[in-house]
Structure 1
Amino acid sequence: MDSEFLLDPALCHLNHAAVGPWPRRTVEAVKRFAEENARSGSLRYADWLAVEQRLRERLASLIGAAATDIALIKNTSEGLSLIAQGLDWQPGDSIVGIAQEFPSNRIVWQALAERGVSWRALDLARSSDPEADLIALCDGSTRLIAVSWVQYASGVRLNLARLATWCRAHGVLLCVDAIQGLGALPFALPRYPADFVVADGHKWLLGPEGLGLLYVCPELRPRLRLTQFGWHMVEDAGDFDRTDWQPTADARRFECGSPNLLGAHALEASLSLLTEVGMDEVWRRLQKRTEHLITLLERRGFELLTPKDPERRAGIISFRVPGRSSAELYQGLMRQGVLCAQRGGGLRFSPHFYTPIERIERAVRILDGLLGG
């Protein structure tokens, strides 16, 4: 696995919850695509589209859907916006979410206030049972629960099966921002029957920015009002002389224009690595690393912001050093080559399944040095 990652050995990359590094095969796929384009232009465009189709199939397999259920979108914000602006809201409707969400999963719902739709937010910091507390915020006006599978700052992982079961029983839609979980641990729609799943490819999926997935339950696809239109989202998309048109029935209806084929080559290559390793094995290795990191942090008396319970966390480990400024420690870590983040009032380390344990230990030793240990 070391041969797949070309990271400078002087760096401790613990920032997959932000932007992940590309595997070697992804770098090579992008080089081949660029060189082929430079030599022969679009001569092999049909082959490029075959790569895009493989990408849809890999993404579908990753979440337990069909390839025709996968729309390729620019980013999570776009996918959430397509959902928020596409549903047929009525004045007085409400949405339930979490106050500490990343802005993309707050702003799109708050923007519906102009249509008379309210967004009710759970303070996750005050909740010991987030699923029960989210459900308690719902009433007869609630049309949708919109949450992240894994919270970007604290690393708290929700029990999606529990939420999905309640939502199905009460006629409430469930929208999942899966960006901080997909690529870190297994996901399966049969187990977590969400109505909407959105994610980007540039974090745990080890791909580029600018390309992600949108899943909309097939029964709901025709109910979403389309807000973007173009040649690519219609039936018989290659028949440019056809004057009558209608949106295609599959998920391509949410893709209005030309595909990001450069991004498709990169993300398809990255997903091929995760497929070879297997998501169960990825999760097993990642858990080993996060558990070791937790042990190192607790041994030093640091305050964990991420739950210790393996069922409540994924790849993010956030913590505070009592009596010390997280901002100053973050700056010091970055200066010494520890790629991490400052989130939610603490430091956020996010290794991946391949991260050498020695790099995790070195990062903690560097932190010791900043503390004068």
Structure 2
Amino acid sequence: MSTFHEEFAQAADVRYLNHAAVGPWPKRTAMAIQNFAEENVLRGAQHYLDWMKVEQRLRERLARLLNAPSTDDIALVKNTSEALSFVAFGLDWRPGDSVVISDEEFPSNRVVWEALKPQGVEVIQVSLKGLDPEAALLDACGPRTRLLSISSVQFATGTRLDIERLGAGCKRRNVLFCIDAIQHIGALPFDVQASQCDFAMADGHKWMCSPEGLGVFYCRAELRPRLTLHEFGWHMLEHSGDYGRNEWQPAASAQRFECGSPNTLGAVALDASLSLLEEVGMDTVGNAVLERVKWLEEGLGKINGVQLHTSQEAARRSGILTFSLDSQPAAQVWQELMHNQVVCLPRGPGIRFSPHFYTPSRVIEETLAIVQAIAKH
């Protein structure tokens, strides 16, 4: 895997542990963007049809990454919030309906459901602190629950949920299942068919190591016609290239969620970044991510005054590890870490580290030494 590590040319003094926020680009992605920019300068859109081939290749990569049945199930969206909004404001809610979420969700997967309050929709927040969070989530699904929407990996603590169990439970209860997978896809293997989810979404700028501005929305084929559309334009039509056609209908595929001109620059970048993940293989990527998180977990556990806020159960482990120091506020610890070129963020109860598969051993060891020094202050 050494050749793949060379794809990430971060500054020698930087210790990057912030992929749960924004991931650095691989060299190939920077090169793809540079080439695309030069082509635009020299030739404009002369080869636009080739750009569309890249976009189609990207849809194929995303379908494989999510194990979607077809590229027709894949929409290219601006971000996770937009995809969640397609679901929230596409379903036919009735007063008294409810949505179940956890009490640890990133605002994107909370606010969008709370915005349905004028329609009489109740949002039920479930604690994940118990011994069986999956059971707690499913038990909260009552007779009027229409949908369970959950982050498969929680952004602040890194708690990973058993989405296959949740999917099976939702099917038994006739509840729709929506997964905010932004902290999962690109870090660990993800499978929409195994989880039996109805909807899944993620941005490309975190674990997929691509620029902000382009993400993926998976929508199960049978549910696409059930989501009322609120955005219309030339690109979301069944015959989108026939500009003289007067009669129209939304595309049968997930392209129906893409109302206007595509993000061609974003597609070029995300296609390049995903080509790297494909070459490495998601099983290899996932194992490497978990190894690095465990390494950090074990090292932090040996430092006096460190409190780990991430579950140490193997089945709960993800690419995120959150800790705090008993002796110092999280904001102060974070400032000292950033002063020492450890790129991370304060999240939830402490400081969040999030290494990727390529993160060098030097970064792990030096970061642990820096935390140890801070703890001694």
What TM-score, normalized to structure 1?
0.98
| Counterpart residue number, 2:161 | 158
2:237 maps to which of 234, 238, 253: 234
| Counterpart residue number, 2:151 | 148
1:214 maps to which of 206, 212, 217: 217
Per-residue CA distance 1:284-334 (angstroms, 9 max, x = gap): 111211111111010114211111112102100011111221110001111
| Counterpart residue number, 2:21 | 18
RMSD between aligned residues: 0.9
| Counterpart residue number, 2:88 | 84
What is the Cα deviation at residue 203 of structure 1?
0.3
| Counterpart residue number, 2:249 | 246
* Alpha-carbon distance between aligned partners in 1 of 2:317 and 2:110, rounded to the nearest angstrom: 21
**Unpaired runs of at least 5, structure 2:** none
Is 2:366 the counterpart of 1:362? Answer: yes
* Alpha-carbon distance between aligned partners in 1 of 2:376 and 2:162, rounded to the nearest angstrom: 40
2:176 maps to which of 169, 173, 178: 173
Could you say what secondary structure the match of 2:322 adopts? strand
| Counterpart residue number, 1:38 | 41
What is the Cα deviation at residue 366 of structure 1?
1.6
Is 2:356 the counterpart of 1:352? Answer: yes
What is the Cα deviation at residue 368 of structure 1?
2.1
Aligned partner of 1:345: which letter?
Answer: P
Q: Comparing 213-222 with 321-330, which one deviates more in the overlay?
A: 321-330
* Alpha-carbon distance between aligned partners in 2 of 1:176 and 1:62, rounded to the nearest angstrom: 15
* Alpha-carbon distance between aligned partners in 1 of 2:241 and 2:254, rounded to the nearest angstrom: 17
Paired residue total? 372
8 A Cα contact 2:309 2:349, kept in partner: no
| Counterpart residue number, 1:123 | 127
What is the Cα deviation at residue 71 of structure 1?
0.2
Per-residue CA distance 1:2-48 (angstroms, 9 max, x = gap): 32011001000000000000000000000000000100000010011
Is 2:97 the counterpart of 1:93? Answer: yes
* Alpha-carbon distance between aligned partners in 1 of 2:133 and 2:161, rounded to the nearest angstrom: 7
Is 2:289 the counterpart of 1:286? Answer: yes
1:139 maps to which of 139, 142, 145: 142
Aligned partner of 1:308: which letter?
Answer: Q
Could you say what secondary structure the match of 2:241 adopts? coil
* Alpha-carbon distance between aligned partners in 1 of 2:358 and 2:366, rounded to the nearest angstrom: 16
What is the Cα deviation at residue 123 of structure 1?
2.2
| Counterpart residue number, 1:343 | 347
What TM-score, normalized to structure 2?
0.97
What is the Cα deviation at residue 250 of structure 1?
0.4
